Amino acid sequence: MAKTTGIVTGIVSNLVTVLVDGPVAENELCFITLGGDSLMAEVIKVNGKNAQIQVFESTRGLRNGDRVEFEGKMLEITLGPGLLSSVYDGLQNDLTTMEGVFLKRGEYTDALNREKLWDFTPLAKPGDKVIAADWLGEVKEGWLPHKIMVPFSFKGEYTVKTVKEAGSYNVDTVIAVLTDERGEDVPVTMTQRWPVKVAVRAYREKPRPQRIMETGVRVIDAFNPIAEGGTGFIPGPFGCGKTVLQHAIAKQGEADVIVMAACGERANEVVEIFTEFPELIDPHTGRHLMERTTIICNTSNMPVAAREASVYTAMTICEYYRAMGLRCLLLADSTSRWAQALREMSNRMEELPGADAFPVDLSAIISNFYARAGVVILNNGQTGAVTFIGTVSPAGGNLKEPVTESTKKAARCFYALEQNRADQKRYPAVNPIDSYSKYLEYPEIKAYLDETVEAGWVDNIAKAKNIVRRGREAADQINILGDDGVPMSYHVTFWKSELIDFCFLQQDAFDPVDSLCPIERQKYMLDILLGICDRDFDFADYEKCRDYFKNMINTIRQMNYSEFHSESFEAYLAELNNLLEENGN
Amino acid sequence: MATKAYQKIYTQLEAITKATVSLKATGVANDELAIVHGRLAQIVRTKGDMVTLQVFSGTEGIPTNAEITFLGAPPTLHVSDQLSGRFFDAYGHPIDGGPEIEGEERQIGGPSVNPYKRRQPSQLIPTGIAGIDLNNTIVSGQKIPFFADPDQPYNQVMADVALRADVDKIILGGMGLSNDDYLFFRHSFEAAGALDKIISFVNTTEEPPVERLLIPDMALTAAEYFAADKNEKVLVLLTDMTLYADALSIVSNRMDQIPSKDSMPGSLYSDLAKIYEKAVQLPSGGSITIIAVTTLNDGDITHAIPDNTGYITEGQLFLRADSDSGKVIIDPFRSLSRLKQLVQGKQTREDHSQVMNAGVRLYADAQNAKTKLENGFDLSDYDHRCLAYAKEYATRLLSIDVNIRIEEMLDTAWELFGKYFSKAETGIKNALIEKYWKA
């Protein structure tokens, strides 16, 4: 079938109007010929014979009359062994193999190394009946078993005709031949292609999340846990530690595969990942962090339209690994930049705007995207998960703006970073009262926590939250009436909340011990803190009360900085118990 | 930019707004320049054979039968070592009476650096100002703006910083500079005898606002020439980015685009990021550091311009008049350098970050004491000491007229700690206290 072609008839920045001579599809990929370059673009609106396309590159020098060729498919990426530890741009070009210091327009590089040999082990045998996403074989990618699957795009049932014997092959080797229902043979290699904007649905079912994903960050794991296969978002003004928190989650998250999408953010932050991650060790496996990480990098100065593609590319890679029965974590920083890219296009297309000039379907786009996360039960009964955490950069730090509001409807966990806490250097600056995790209401998660942490854990969390809340109320009273104007009990209530805040909610992301706090240690510490809060204290004046609690806080913080149950940890614990004997009962 | 003989001349404008003109033309390229009635213009939209041009110097007096010729290329700058010491307008033409520059003609607003090829910024840029060097250390390859109300002396501070910084080239991009400020920059550069390492692109308030849109790209194209081709350390000064953003909103408004927050165009974030992200540490050793000015309206950082800037830049330096010391200081609370930990204690003395934190924390205690005082509560002895410390700290360290080496800043801080506080009150690690404490 001949390809549809067209000619450029209008240009506004990266929105180009094309007069086409044949059928085109929404989101179809096309290439514009400009001198010797060909610029990738995507159809975003069709009106009669006029297709409007967003160009993923600079349109400088483009002329009316330039030729456009349509590809008959949507924006696709290549899936196969070698995705991990790669650094891609939003369109899955390998940034590490590009020549020169500056990005060149129209330069597209291969996503996978075509020469590298992988040790293949067959998992299927001739005669097996298979459907899309069934496992045909396996290669070792780092330490992960990378499954070679029946491509997601295959419809219906196939019979395995042949499978390659164990051996070393490159990704383009035909590792199996399948026979379809009409008796035709189809070769399968180690790679497949998938359109990024379409969710992969090659699984049996998508149950509710059953367990939590540990991050080692106390204010998340204990106070507002995120489920494995769950969704969460972190809104916050600039300078509140959004990036530090996200990097902490990336370093410590309990997942097999991490995909980080740097979407419209600072290039130097990505450089930090390149510089740091290869040195860092995954606390769960002892392997290099980079081995389980893929970085999708579309920084703020890279072409705007590819920002949108970058988050979809990242999600598709997660879904691919999920189909292997792995637990994936997707971090996107920041989804606001993606929404702004949508706004720029909508504006150029002269669509009627919604709030703050964002497109009216912003909310639907965001919730569709969040819906792609989740736990799935694969065709073979195993499970895989994609956990998604996005950051949001609300304009002016005001959470009543369209991106935050739309995301709030879609994400189940909300980690509100607060300017006030950041100013007081109370990091992570997650507001303990406003933030929430809907997963704490799930009976299956409750049961999981009862079993794996301790019975009644969720109630303990509620209790701790309430202590913080009451402390805030007491602080308000003290501020209004003065230190001497309130009964001593107000001071004690206030300092109990400070105890929880300083010793549990605050955590030093740069300290080698404190930065990663496993859940059993979180439980141990919270039990101690709640034990203290249950006691009654008696003080002659508020300054004594302050000094006593400050002393106690200092001792417990030293515990946080010491290895769990180490000699110094136990010494500080003894010191704490001495303090408690001095006062309170 | 002479017109070429074979070029077609158009004489029929279909539409004119304050910033743009539209006409029927064919075979023209996006971003291409044109001369409209003797004025430089650039294509911003084509729709069928209707072409819209943004006229940089405004459309006043342009008739519908004006002559239009297309130049066949986007804006360019001739780059060579001859740029050094020269002053140019927004189009890259000399305004100092000197000859035109000979050299390679480069399109401005070129491609970005591949993020994978960047290096982590790691070179300290000392400025002599303790509010910067001590509390918000700047690193080469960083991008950081001054946030200042229009009445703050931000241009003076920036000139000081530029002249003291240890860099190979300083490139000034002046947007909407008052003529007085332009002359101020020129005189201070001349007086410092540093003219040969300075290049200036200037649009003054006397010139049309839309011309400003070319300034950052001109300055950064020159910067990229010295940083990437010559492996030099380049410092780019951009003042005032708020006026640049205002010019963006004028053009988008004339093109009937729907404004977003604060009547700024929806693409403001990308537009600003394209400029600031040119700051880079290159693998070859060359670097571009950007220090900009964003003027605020009554300290409001939630306005779209400072807000978007804050999300793009690596921190901000907040200027404020301080009533305790009667000086303009760099506010330690609202200022931030995101890259400071890359050099503090590594290229500076080991006690740097602890001294910085202690200094700021004690200054914060002084602010609390001040609030107590204002609310009529009794002050403790500690409160009184904090207040006295704050005054001296602001005068001797935070004030923008300070010019000392980083070691002296640290020593001054230790002197103040010893004068007003006990060792425990500073909360500094014992090992450092033993080594540096001044009784």
For A62-87, write each residue's pLDDT tens digit. 999 999 999 999 999 999 999 999 99
- pLDDT tops 50 at residue B1: no
Helix (H) or strand (E) segment spanning residue A280: none
Give the chain B residue nearest A422 (alpha carbons): B333
Lowest mean pLDDT among A116-120, A500-504, B247-251, B272-276: B247-251
Contact (CB, 8 A) for A55 and A31 = no
Query: What φ, ψ does residue A79 adopt, rounded to 5°?
Result: -115, 130
Distance between CA atoms of residues A526 and A310, nearest Å: 40
Q: Which two tokens stand for residue A411?
A: 């994400």
Q: Is A544 helix (H, G, I), strand (E, B) or coil?
A: helix
What is the Cα–Cα distance from B199 to B173, expressed in whole angstroms?
A: 9
Before B240, cis peptide (omega within 30)? yes
Amino acid found at B268: L
The minimum CA-CA distance between B199 and chain A, rounded to whole Å, is: 23
Q: What integer pLDDT is reported at residue A584 of this predicted model?
A: 58
Answer whether A60 sits within 8 Å of B31, measured CB to CB. yes
**Residue B80, pLDDT score:** 95
For the ranges A199-213, A341-355, B15-29, B44-58, the maximum mean pLDDT occurs at A199-213
For residues A541-545, give the mean pLDDT.
Answer: 87
Question: Average pLDDT of A333-338?
Answer: 90
Q: Within a 13 Å sphere around the CA of A67, how many CA atoms are in the beta-carbon half?
A: 9
**Bridge partner residues of B36 (DSSP):** B39, B68
d(CA B304, CA B245): 10
**Per-residue pLDDT, B6:** 59
Average pLDDT of span A337-360:
88
- Flag whether pLDDT at B250 surpasses 90: no
Dihedral sign for Cα B201, B204, B210, B211, please. negative
DSSP alpha helices (H): ranges in B37-149? 130-133
pLDDT tens per residue, range B276-290:
999 999 999 999 999
User: How many angstroms separate the Cα of A47 from the Cα of each of A17, A343, B11, B122?
Assistant: 10, 20, 33, 52
To test the contact with chain B by mutation, choose from A56, A238, A427, A541 the residue with the greatest count of B C-beta atoms within 10 A, namely A238
What average pLDDT does this structure show over A492-511?
Answer: 93
CATH number of the structural domain B2-70: 2.40.30.20
Q: Are A176 and A137 in contact (CB under 8 A)?
A: yes
Gyration radius from chain A CA atoms: 27
Across B240-374, the runs of DSSP E, i.e. the strands, are 280-281, 287-295, 315-322, 327-330, 336-337
Residues of B in contact with A393 (CB under 8 A): 311
Residue at token pair 């530090």? A244
Per-residue pLDDT at A173 exceeds 70: yes
Segment among A316-325, A341-350, B46-55 with least mean pLDDT: A341-350
Is A438 buried (19+), middle (13-18) or exposed (0-12) by CB count in 10 A? middle
Model confidence pLDDT, tens digit, residues B174-215:
999 999 999 999 999 889 888 889 999 999 998 888 899 999
**pLDDT tens digits for A289-305?**
889 999 999 988 888 88
Shortest Cα distance, chain A CAs vs residue B80, angstroms: 19
Helix (H) or strand (E) holding A134: none
CB atoms A356 and B339 under 8 Å: no
Mean pLDDT of A534-552: 90
Contact B410, B356 (CB under 8 A): no
The nearest CA of chain A is from the CA of B309 a distance in Å of 10
- Mean pLDDT to the nearest integer, A375-392: 96
Name the residue type at position A583. N
| Token representation of residue A61 | 């020098």
- B:96-135 residues touching chain A, CB 8 A cutoff: 107, 109-121
Report A:357-416 residues touching B (Cβ under 8 A): 357-358, 393, 395-398
Question: Contacts of residue B119 in chain A, CB cutoff 8 Å?
Answer: 271
Average pLDDT score over chain B: 91
For residue A485, the distance in angstroms to the closest alpha carbon of chain B comes to 11
Q: What is the pLDDT of residues B373-419, one digit of tens each?
A: 888 888 888 899 999 999 999 999 999 999 999 999 999 999 999 99
Q: Residue B372's pLDDT is what?
A: 84
Alpha helices per DSSP H over A323-361: 335-348
**Residue B268 exposed, middle or buried by CB count within 10 Å (0-12, 13-18, 19+):** buried
Q: Classify the phi-psi angles of A515: left when phi > 0, otherwise alpha if psi is within -120 to 50, otherwise beta.
A: alpha
Strand A327-333 vs strand A293-298: parallel, antiparallel, or unpaired? unpaired
Kind and range of the H or E run holding B316: strand B315-322
pLDDT tens sequence across B103-140: 999 999 988 899 999 999 989 999 999 999 999 999 99
What is the pLDDT averaged over residues A461-480? 93
Beta carbons within 8 Å of A260's beta carbon, 6+ residues apart: A250, A273, A293, A294, A295, A296, A314, A331, A333
Q: Tokens 């706004």 belong to which residue?
A: A343
pLDDT at B308 over 70: yes
Nearest-CA distance from A125 to chain B in Å?
A: 42
Query: Within 10 A of A167 (CB to CB), how many other CB atoms are there?
Result: 13
CA angle centred on B248, ends B246 and B250, rounded to 5°: 75
A387 near A322, Cβ under 8 Å? no
**Rounded Cα–Cα distance for residues B42 and B71 (Å):** 10
Q: Where in chain B is the domain with CATH 2.40.30.20?
A: 2-70
A511 touches chain B (CB under 8 A): no
User: Which among A9, A59, A101 has the least Cβ separation from residue B228?
Assistant: A101
Taking the C-alpha atoms of residue A50 and residue B284, their distance in angstroms, rounded to an integer, is: 47
Instruction: Report in angstroms the alpha-carbon separations of A177 from A146, A171, A184.
Output: 19, 15, 10
Is ipTM > 0.90 here?
no
- Residue pair B98/B86 in contact by the 8 Å Cβ criterion: yes
Strands A327-333 and A257-263 turn out to be parallel
Backbone angles phi, psi at A26, to 5 degrees: -60, 135
Taking the CA atoms of B307, B309, B314 and B320 in sequence, report the sign of the dihedral they define. negative
SS (H, E, C) A360-409: CCHHHHHHHHHCCCEEEECCCCCEEEEEEEEEECCHHHCCCCHHHHHHHH
Best of A55, A301, A557 to disrupt the B interface (most B CBs within 10 Å) is: A301
| Cβ-contact B160, B170 below 8 angstroms | no
CATH code, residues B95-342: 3.40.50.12240
Model pLDDT, residue B425? 84
Instruction: Give the H or E element holding residue B403.
Output: none
C-alpha–C-alpha distance, residues A27 and A8, integer Å? 17
Mean pLDDT over each residue of chain A, to the nearest integer: 93
CA angle B257, B258, B262 (to 5 degrees): 115
β-strand partners of A102: B113
Residues A159 and A161: their CA atoms lie apart, in Å, by: 6
B59-84 pLDDT, tens digit per residue, is 999 999 999 999 988 999 999 999 99
SS (H, E, C) A446-512: HHHHHHHCCCCHHHHHHHHHHHHHHHHHHHHHHHHHCHHHCCHHHHHHHHHHHHHHHHHHCCCCCCC
Which residues 258-317 on chain B approach chain A with CB closer than 8 angstroms? Answer: 258-261, 265-267, 269-270, 273-274, 277-278, 280, 282-284, 302-304, 307-308, 310-312, 314-315
Structure tokens at B108: 């401005």
**Residue A145 amino acid letter:** P
Where do we find the tokens 């007491």?
A: A474
Contact B259 A304 (CB under 8 A): no
Phi-psi category of residue A507: left, alpha or beta, with phi > 0 → left and psi -120 to 50 → alpha: beta
Tell me the C-alpha distance between B156 and B173, whole Å. Answer: 15
Number of other residues whose CB lies within 10 A of the CB of residue A557: 16
Residue B2's pLDDT band (cuts 50, 70, 90) = very low
How many angstroms separate the CA atoms of A135 and B106, rounded? 53
DSSP state of A357: G
Helix (H, G, I), strand (E, B) or coil at A306: helix
Residue B94 tokens read as 């000399």
Nearest CB neighbour to B277, from listed A301, A337, A358: A301
Task: Say if CB A59 and CB A106 are below 8 A apart.
Answer: no
What single-letter amino acid sits at B187?
H
A165-169, A388-392, A509-513, B350-354: which has the minimum mean pLDDT?
A509-513
Q: Which residues of chain B are in CATH 3.40.50.12240 domains?
A: 95-342
> Which of A268, A279, A310, A334 has the most B C-beta neighbours within 10 Å, making it the best mutation to test the interface with B?
A268
CA dist., res. B71 & res. B92, Å (int): 16
Please state, in angstroms and rounded to a whole number, the distance separating the CA atoms of residues A134 and A147: 9
Share of residues in chain A with pLDDT > 70 (%) = 99
**DSSP reduced 3-state for A103:** coil
Alpha carbon distances (Å) from B409 to A45, B154, B405, B412: 60, 22, 6, 5
**What are all long-range contacts of A463-466, with beta carbons under 8 Å and residues at least 24 apart?**
A463/A530, A464/A222, A464/A223, A464/A500, A464/A504, A464/A526, A464/A529, A464/A530, A464/A533, A465/A223, A465/A432, A465/A433
Q: Is the pLDDT of residue A287 over 90?
A: no
Q: B31 contacts in A (CB within 8 Å)? A: 59-61
Residue A40 contacts residue A56 (beta carbons within 8 Å): yes
What is the arithmetic mean of pLDDT over A550-561?
91
- Confidence label for A585 from pLDDT (cuts 50, 70 and 90): low
Q: Which stretches within B85-152 are classed as H helix? A: 130-133
pLDDT tops 90 at residue B5: no
Contacts of B142 in chain A (CB under 8 A): 268
Which residues of chain B does A297 touch, with a Cβ-Cβ cutoff of 8 Å?
Answer: 115-116
Q: Could you tell me the pLDDT band of residue B3, with boundaries at 50, 70 and 90?
A: very low
3-state secondary structure of A434: coil
**pLDDT at site A424:** 79
What single-letter amino acid sits at B153? P
Q: pTM for this structure?
A: 0.92
